[in-house]
Amino acid sequence: MSRGSILVIDDKPQVRRLLRGTLVASGYEVADVRSGDEALNRIREERYDVALLESDLPGKSGFDTCVAIRATGSKIGIIMMST
């Protein structure tokens, strides 16, 4: 049984891989994307409990992505990261 679903949003593959491995081993369902635009598409298509969002994304920053997520009406929990 899953503990919940998490969307990891980070442009660095090694960070996504590390977070995915750790979270899956702890019983979470995990999806990951590398950009704010990909995150917005995923959040529109699927339901997640929490987003782990890198603040320093290329293109649409993590802060801009956070604002855009809220503009969709999503109530997803957002935890900002800085790696």
pLDDT tens sequence across 5-59: 999 999 999 999 999 999 999 999 999 999 999 999 999 999 999 999 999 999 9
Distance separating the N- and C-terminal Cα atoms of the chain: 30
| DSSP conformation class of 72 | T
The contacts of residue 79 (CB under 8 Å, 6+ apart) are 50, 51, 52, 53
pTM equals 0.94
Q: How does pLDDT run across 54-78, given as a tens digit for each residue?
A: 999 999 999 999 999 999 999 999 9
Tokens read off for 37: 């635009």
